[in-house]
Structure 1
Amino acid sequence: MDTAYKRIVVVGGGAAGWMAATALATALPASTVELVESEEIGIVGVGEATFPSIRHFHRLAGIDEAEFLRATNGTYKLGIEFRDWRIQGESYFHTFGDFGDLTGPDALWGHFRRVGDAGLGTLGEQCLSSVMASQGRFQGLPSEENKPFNYAYHFDAALYAGFLRALALKRGVRRTEGRIVDVARRADGGVASLKLADGRELAGDLFIDCSGFASLLLGRTLDVPFADFSHWLPVDRAWAVPSEPSGPALTPYTRATALEAGWAWRIPLRNRVGNGHVFASRYIDEERARDQLLAQLDGPALAEPRLLRFTTGHRQRCWVHNVVGLGLASGFLEPLESTSIFLIQSGLGNLIPLLQKGRPTTAEVGGYNAGMARQFERIRDFIILHYCLTARRDGELWRHMASMELPETLAYKIHAWRQAGVLHQYQWEGFDANSWLAIHAGMGHWPERADPELAELPRDEALRALRQRRETIAALVAAMPTHDAYLRRMVAR
């Protein structure tokens, strides 16, 4: 069906801009989609780890996995290893898999806790993808309908933007090179056109703001207020640097290591390793944070570290008049759980069905804004969970995070888990109950009482079922190829 927006202008390239252009050109063939970007401005381009939903975006966009991996130096991601988060010297894994039944008399984690048999190992050994990650193994899914685990990717963000650009251009997207110097407004307050440095003007019916932290349209032009999350997430800086691959084979997971006043990421690509240190500048100076990052590298740095400054939070409304903000232009949450691209995809997933129906109503725009705000808040809560359960007291950041007042939405979820073993889920969650369980379990945070219903299954039967599941998973993983071997075969297609 024709959309009421005949001419859509995407402001800014990078992953957000070219994801938007690709999706809009694919879903709205009757509309003209034009993207304006400036090579002299460049892109942030440090986000190299993703969330499993990206595979859904690729399927909708008709992207071949092997072609994508070849073009972006990509690798597979089964989850995130968290080192030193509860206490120094301990680690746990946030898996993209599942832990079986999570509620009722068959709750796997409940029986695991009740049985208390050291021979079962960790709860992670009851999850297929956790065992795959720990042994560095990987294989593709038999089908999307009946998948035993889930996965995402690591890739070079700049190469990904280039890959999507080539795809979008093939689908009819127009690219305009130019720097925006002025924005003309409509009588109702919306955007009428953009003026470029060379004097050209670009008019549009709908503008998608993908201009990064500058938030050229949503923030600077329309002056949409910012919901600041820095009270709960005080990190506000990040050093980023690539390094030579070194040491063990390519790991199918991201690593996040807690440091004095923040944490360091490690993301393995086929040609290099992406590294960064996210930190709170009120608790550590920039040069000390830089030195701590360089001390984490497996191999020599391939460039000088680059410093990014940010404030966690989001624009109070992502859609105002005829402007929709996506990516950093709409908000930013620290990259602890690799959600930046997920939020872009979520924004597009909620936007496009409205555009396909025609010009949306005021109520529909309001619903879009409320939903996106809730999603930022839900992910904010999940990230805070990693900090607030810590037993670390060896730095000001960790003492602050362990003692601060929590958002009411998170406080309720923690209370429901601690008191009754309930993994409460709101609408617009970014992470399902399996993910919340992985963090609670990894941080040693368990309910104060066991559900009496669990005891209706005899202990011996529960132990036997858990042992069988563990052995079945171990046998499945032992038969899988290594991540390196599977990846080599995939990119050679």
Structure 2
Amino acid sequence: MSNFDRIVVVGGGTAGWMTALALVTGLRGRTVEVIESEEIGIVGVGEATFPSILEYNRLVGIDEADFLRATEGTYKLGVEFRDWRQQGESYFHTFGDFGSLTGSHSLWGQHRRLGDAVAGAFGAQCLPTVMAQEGRFCAPNAIQGAPFKYAYHFDASLYASYLRRLAVRRGANRTEGRIIAVKRREDGGVRSVLLADGREIHGDLFIDCSGFRSLLLGRTLEEPFVDFSHWLPVDRAWACPCEPSGDGITPYTRATALEGGWAWRIPLQQRTGHGHVFSSRYISEERARDQLLQQLDGRPLAEPRLLRFTTGHRQRFWVHNVVALGLSAGFLEPLESTSIFLIQSGLGRLMRLLAAAAPVDAAAVEDFNGGLVRQFARIRDFIILHYCLTARRDSALWRDMAGMALPETLAFRLHAWRESGVLLEYDEEGFDATSWLAIHAGMDHWPGRADPVLQELSREQAQQALAQRREAIARLVAQLPAHADYLGQVLAR
């Protein structure tokens, strides 16, 4: 294979313009053309992200204040999960840590040993969790030794437009048009795409960012789809923006478990994004829509919009001279905001191959595909974890999720945790051991026995260590600005 001088990106939206901006910024001497159609539009709702987006912004030279102004963005410290274990309970998965994970000074181990009555709430041991609960925010670099990361909420349509402006300014070519046919090469790859107005666009490498249609990889090359819906049965989502509430802009996403799925809440500067992700096996579209409207903070700003999908991914992501990124490659429900992370992961792998001096060969493509397959599987397991630990039995969905057969990789991880308190980590992880611990703790899912090494600290020493960390975090958070105040300072730059 060559190193592809002419690259055609099929589809705009978040995936297409993230790809185009990275290509024109990071590679020299390549022609980058993006084909998108205003007739088709994009899947644009309130978007929540993962901390990796900060690295993408840094690599392509995006200024944070400019970005937040352009996208109605706000800061995100993590996700609050309501009613997942049982109705009336909640917990946070934030982008911070709980101190040491191993040894006699393991904070989670000592916390579990002492019990909540003595040790207090486990979330109080995590700085960004307390920040989220108190509605405060400050960038980590402003706090000496702050052990946390952050991400953003923003309007996905505005984000795509913002990236498009930057990419075109840096040399990407934008072609408005609707693709009506794809012409193949003798080896099975794609030679060109034909637009409705008769234009024919040729390329050496085609990047499929056509969304759920998967126009090139799925429809044209007929790459099989690996279906995860027997583990993750949600297949619909209603989305609706509303007026912001009077409670201020919270620095976290909210995911509330409902009868047949869960509802998201994503606070932006001038509105709040709401949605209901659900399974049509367990609840009708009409009932799910009604439940979404009951979740809104304020007056709806548009009619609810329905999206249909299947969780899973294409068997391969790079076939011949076609690479799929974004929804055309696969989709995992947005419970932990991994859609853009998966785009970024695939794009990073692609950029490294295209920037290398050596041509991209079959072995490199196989490694590209294998890495992404494993990453989808790792994130799939992490999402299933949120469901399979539930104690809810109030509807068919939750009863079935609690009793379903698990993927072997997840079943083994759960066995290791239950038996010995080991937080296993595989290759190509999307979430580290601390994130797994946050879900285990939030779902009150602890090992059946404690590590004997914990006994090397007296109960008094353990209690003192936990109290000191909890009190230090509380003092620090009390000095931080409210999220809205900090955001206002950044936007005024």
Distance in structure 1 (CA, Å) of the matches to 2:444 and 2:377: 24
Residue aligning to 1:237: 236
Q: CA deviation at 1:238?
A: 0.4
What secondary structure, in the 3-state scheme, does the structure 1 residue paired with 2:193 have? strand
Distance in structure 1 (CA, Å) of the matches to 2:159 and 2:152: 11
Q: CA deviation at 1:146?
A: 5.8
What secondary structure, in the 3-state scheme, does the structure 2 residue paired with 1:5 have? coil
Greater mean alpha carbon deviation, residues 126-135 or residues 456-465? 456-465
Q: 1:246 to 1:144 in 2, by over 3 A?
A: closer
Q: 1:143 to 1:317 in 2, by over 3 A?
A: farther
Distance in structure 2 (CA, Å) of the matches to 1:119 and 1:161: 49
Q: CA deviation at 1:240?
A: 0.4
Distance in structure 2 (CA, Å) of the matches to 1:207 and 1:146: 44
Residue aligning to 1:268: 267
TM normalised by structure 1 equals: 0.98
Q: CA deviation at 1:246?
A: 1.2
Q: 1:98 to 1:310 in 2, by over 3 A?
A: same
Whichever residue aligns with residue 109 of structure 1, its letter is W
- Provide structure 1 residue ranges, at least 5 long, that are not aligned to the other structure: none
Indicate if the aligned counterparts of 2:24 and 2:167 stay in contact, CA closer than 8 A.
yes
Q: CA deviation at 1:13?
A: 0.4
Q: In angstroms, what is the RMSD of aligned CA positions?
A: 1.2
Residue aligning to 1:97: 96
Distance in structure 2 (CA, Å) of the matches to 1:153 and 1:205: 35
Whichever residue aligns with residue 404 of structure 2, its letter is M
Q: Is 2:149 aligned against 1:150?
A: yes
Indicate if the aligned counterparts of 2:217 and 2:223 stay in contact, CA closer than 8 A.
yes
Residue aligning to 2:467: 467
Distance in structure 2 (CA, Å) of the matches to 1:196 and 1:175: 13
Indicate if the aligned counterparts of 2:116 and 2:122 stay in contact, CA closer than 8 A.
no
Residue aligning to 2:477: 477
Distance in structure 2 (CA, Å) of the matches to 1:247 and 1:389: 34
Residue aligning to 2:181: 182
Distance in structure 1 (CA, Å) of the matches to 2:421 and 2:306: 41
Q: Is 2:372 aligned against 1:379?
A: no
Indicate if the aligned counterparts of 2:118 and 2:463 stay in contact, CA closer than 8 A.
no
Which digits, 9 at most, give the CA deviation of each residue in 1:6-27, with x for residues without a partner? 0000000000000000011111
Q: CA deviation at 1:481?
A: 0.3
Whichever residue aligns with residue 69 of structure 2, its letter is R
Residue aligning to 2:44: 45
Residue aligning to 1:288: 287
Q: CA deviation at 1:47?
A: 5.0
Which digits, 9 at most, give the CA deviation of each residue in 1:259-302, with x for residues without a partner? 00100000000010000000010111100000000011110110
Whichever residue aligns with residue 444 of structure 1, its letter is D
Residue aligning to 2:123: 124
Residue aligning to 1:418: 418
Q: CA deviation at 1:159?
A: 0.2
Percentage of matched positions with identical amino acids: 71
Which digits, 9 at most, give the CA deviation of each residue in 1:360-391, with x for residues without a partner? 11111001101101111111100000000000
Residue aligning to 1:406: 406
Indicate if the aligned counterparts of 1:194 and 1:203 stay in contact, CA closer than 8 A.
yes
Q: CA deviation at 1:462?
A: 1.4
Residue aligning to 1:492: 492
Greater mean alpha carbon deviation, residues 457-466 or residues 363-372? 457-466
TM normalised by structure 2 equals: 0.98
Residue aligning to 2:221: 222
Alignment of 1:15-164 (within 5 A): 15-46=14-45, 48-116=47-115, 118-142=117-141, 147-164=146-163
Q: 1:185 to 1:148 in 2, by over 3 A?
A: same
Indicate if the aligned counterparts of 1:11 and 1:207 stay in contact, CA closer than 8 A.
yes
Distance in structure 1 (CA, Å) of the matches to 2:141 and 2:404: 45
Q: CA deviation at 1:117?
A: 5.4
Q: CA deviation at 1:105?
A: 2.2
Q: 1:164 to 1:146 in 2, by over 3 A?
A: farther
What secondary structure, in the 3-state scheme, does the structure 1 residue paired with 2:7 have? strand
Distance in structure 2 (CA, Å) of the matches to 1:202 and 1:47: 33
Distance in structure 2 (CA, Å) of the matches to 1:144 and 1:130: 15
Alignment of 1:287-326 (within 5 A): 287-326=286-325
What secondary structure, in the 3-state scheme, does the structure 2 residue paired with 1:418 have? helix
Residue aligning to 1:436: 436
What secondary structure, in the 3-state scheme, does the structure 1 residue paired with 2:247 have? coil
Residue aligning to 2:341: 342
What secondary structure, in the 3-state scheme, does the structure 1 residue paired with 2:48 have? coil
Distance in structure 1 (CA, Å) of the matches to 2:441 and 2:184: 52
Q: CA deviation at 1:46?
A: 2.0
Distance in structure 2 (CA, Å) of the matches to 1:400 and 1:460: 43
Q: CA deviation at 1:351?
A: 1.1
Indicate if the aligned counterparts of 1:47 and 1:338 stay in contact, CA closer than 8 A.
no
Give the count of matched residue pairs.
Answer: 491
Q: CA deviation at 1:143?
A: 7.4
Indicate if the aligned counterparts of 1:98 and 1:149 stay in contact, CA closer than 8 A.
yes
Greater mean alpha carbon deviation, residues 103-112 or residues 13-22? 103-112
Which digits, 9 at most, give the CA deviation of each residue in 1:74-119, with x for residues without a partner? 0000000000000000001011101111122221100111122525
Q: CA deviation at 1:458?
A: 1.6
Q: CA deviation at 1:145?
A: 11
What secondary structure, in the 3-state scheme, does the structure 2 residue paired with 1:105 have? coil
Residue aligning to 2:450: 450
What secondary structure, in the 3-state scheme, does the structure 1 residue paired with 2:346 have? helix
Indicate if the aligned counterparts of 2:46 and 2:266 stay in contact, CA closer than 8 A.
no
Whichever residue aligns with residue 311 of structure 2, its letter is T
- Provide structure 2 residue ranges, at least 5 long, that are not aligned to the other structure: none
Distance in structure 2 (CA, Å) of the matches to 1:196 and 1:455: 70
Whichever residue aligns with residue 113 of structure 2, its letter is R
What secondary structure, in the 3-state scheme, does the structure 1 residue paired with 2:462 have? helix
Distance in structure 2 (CA, Å) of the matches to 1:464 and 1:419: 28
Indicate if the aligned counterparts of 1:120 and 1:470 stay in contact, CA closer than 8 A.
no
What secondary structure, in the 3-state scheme, does the structure 1 residue paired with 2:141 have? coil
Distance in structure 2 (CA, Å) of the matches to 1:104 and 1:11: 51
What secondary structure, in the 3-state scheme, does the structure 1 residue paired with 2:104 have? helix
